Amino acid sequence: MKIKILHILAIIFLLVGCNTPNTSKEEIGNSLYDIRHKKKIRVVMDYNSINYFIYKGKPMGFQYELAQTFAKHLGVSLDVVVNNNLGESFKMLEENKCNILTTSLTNTKERAERFDFSYPIGETAIVLIQRTSKKSNIGNIDDLKDKTIYVKSNTAYESTLEKYNSEKDLNINIISVKNFSTEDLIRMVSKKEIDYTVSDENIAYINAQFHNNIDISILLSEKQNLSWGINKEQKELKQEVDNWLKTFVKSYKYKIIYNKYYNSRRAVNVYKSTYNHLNIGKISDYDDILKQKSKKINWDWKLLASLMFQESRFNPEAESWVGAYGLMQIMPETANMVRVEDYKEPINNIEAGVRYIRYIERLFKKELKDTTDLVPFVLASYNVGPGHVLDARRLARKYGKNPDRWYDNTDFFLLNKANPLYYKDNLARNGYCNGEEPYNYVEDIMERYYHYTNLIKE
160-210 pLDDT tens trace:
999 999 999 999 999 999 878 898 899 999 999 999 999 999 889 888 888
Q: If residue 252 lies in a helix (H) or strand (E), which one and from where to where?
A: helix 252-262
Can you name the residues that pair with 52 across neighbouring β-strands? 48
pLDDT at res. 207: 87
Average pLDDT value for residue range 34-63: 90
pLDDT at res. 99: 97
Confidence of residue 268 (pLDDT cuts 50, 70, 90): low
What does CATH list as the number for 31-122+225-279?
A: 3.40.190.10
Confidence of residue 329 (pLDDT cuts 50, 70, 90): very high
Average pLDDT value for residue range 84-94: 92
pLDDT at res. 21: 33
Across 24-38, 49-63, 337-351, which has the greatest mean pLDDT? 337-351
pLDDT at res. 321: 87
pLDDT at res. 58: 86
Please write the tens of the pLDDT for every residue from 342-359. Answer: 999 999 999 999 999 999
In which region does residue 342 sit, left (phi positive, over 0), alpha (psi from -120 to 50) or beta (all else)? left
Return the percentage of the chain with pLDDT > 90, whole number: 73
pLDDT at res. 135: 66
pLDDT at res. 444: 92
Residues of the chain with CATH 3.40.190.10: 31-122+225-279, 126-221
Can you name the residues that pair with 167 across neighbouring β-strands? none
Confidence of residue 279 (pLDDT cuts 50, 70, 90): low
Confidence of residue 315 (pLDDT cuts 50, 70, 90): very high
Cα–Cα nearest to 314, from 108, 7, 57: 57
pLDDT at res. 30: 84
- The contacts found for 56-60 with CB under 8 angstroms, 24 or more apart, are 56/273, 56/275, 56/313, 56/314, 57/275, 57/283, 57/284, 57/305, 57/306, 57/309, 57/313, 57/314, 57/448, 58/309, 58/448, 59/448, 59/451, 59/455, 60/270
Of 28-42, 262-276, 283-297, 298-312, give the lowest mean pLDDT range: 262-276
pLDDT at res. 115: 96
pLDDT at residue 104 above 60? yes
The topology under which CATH files domain 126-221 is D-Maltodextrin-Binding Protein; domain 2 (3.40.190)
Supply the DSSP string of 200-250, one letter for each residue: EHHHHHHHHHH-TTEE---B-S--EEEEEEE-TT-HHHHHHHHHHHHHHTT
pLDDT at res. 300: 96
pLDDT at res. 271: 60
Average pLDDT value for residue range 326-344: 96
Overall pTM surpassing 0.75 (yes/no) = no
Please write the tens of the pLDDT for every residue from 390-421. Answer: 999 999 999 999 999 999 999 999 999 999 99
Average pLDDT value for residue range 88-106: 94
Please write the tens of the pLDDT for every residue from 228-250. Answer: 999 999 999 999 999 999 999 99
In degrees, to the nearest 5, what angle opens at C-alpha 440 toward C-alphas 384 and 367?
50
Please write the tens of the pLDDT for every residue from 423-441. Answer: 999 999 999 999 999 999 9
CA distance 112 to 117: 7
pLDDT at residue 121 above 70? yes
DSSP annotation of 143 reads G
Please write the tens of the pLDDT for every residue from 368-391. Answer: 999 999 999 999 999 999 999 999
pLDDT at res. 265: 63
pLDDT at residue 310 above 70? yes
Residues of the chain with CATH 1.10.530.10: 287-455
pLDDT at res. 2: 41
pLDDT at res. 7: 42
Q: Which CATH class is domain 287-455?
A: mainly alpha
pLDDT at res. 11: 39
pLDDT at res. 27: 62
pLDDT at res. 19: 38
Average pLDDT of the residues of the chain? 89
- 157 contact partners, CB below 8 Å, separation of at least 6: 126, 151, 182, 198, 199
Distances, alpha carbon 218 to alpha carbons 127, 128, 183, 197, 436, in Å? 6, 5, 18, 12, 55
Return the percentage of the chain with pLDDT > 70, whole number: 89
Cα–Cα nearest to 236, from 99, 130, 370: 99
Q: If residue 122 lies in a helix (H) or strand (E), which one and from where to where?
A: strand 122-124
